Amino acid sequence: MNEAVLDASVVLKWFHSEGEGHVDVARHLRAQFEAGELGVLAPQLLWLELLNVGARRWGWPQSQLEQLAVTLEQLGFEVHEPDLLSVARWAANGLTAYDAAYVAVAEQAGVQLITDDEQVVATAPKVASALGGLQVPPERDQNP
């Protein structure tokens, strides 16, 4: 099984696609995760970022946010706390501490960070891959 860190810019597309780019790639990653083909690592910060986007950007009511919270807890991501020295180093290179946390977790685990944030990819190109640069394999014809 492959493993990767997915940041909020990717996972939020699993729950809301309106106005979002690269939704097909994000959905493919979700399908891989649900099929057990992709292990997802993330800092605990991911849940807070997604709830914040749901409340502030999408304007979801309390009931919908609570359902999102329950769903997030049940996803089964492997939660890793980032090394603060690594976060500080990446923040000093221009990332927010929040973005740096994802880079630090990926770096610590020796896996790729997948993000839809161009600044993260530009700042940490050896660790981060652009969501839009990933290829979604064509669907196979299920008929013999």
> pLDDT by residue (tens digit) across 20-76?
899 999 999 999 999 999 999 999 999 999 999 999 999 999 999 999 999 999 999
Domains identified in the chain and CATH numbers: 2-133 (3.40.50.1010)
Cα separation, 43 vs 58, in Å, equals 22
The per-residue pLDDT for range 90-107, each reduced to its tens digit, is: 999 999 999 999 999 999
> What was the pLDDT predicted at 142?
43
Please report, for residues 28, 73, 105, 123, the alpha-carbon distance to residue 119 in angstroms, rounded to integers and kept in the order given: 23, 28, 17, 6
Q: What is the pTM of this model?
A: 0.90
> What was the pLDDT predicted at 35?
95
Residue 27 has a CB neighbour count (10 Å cut-off) of 14
Residue 13 has a CB neighbour count (10 Å cut-off) of 22
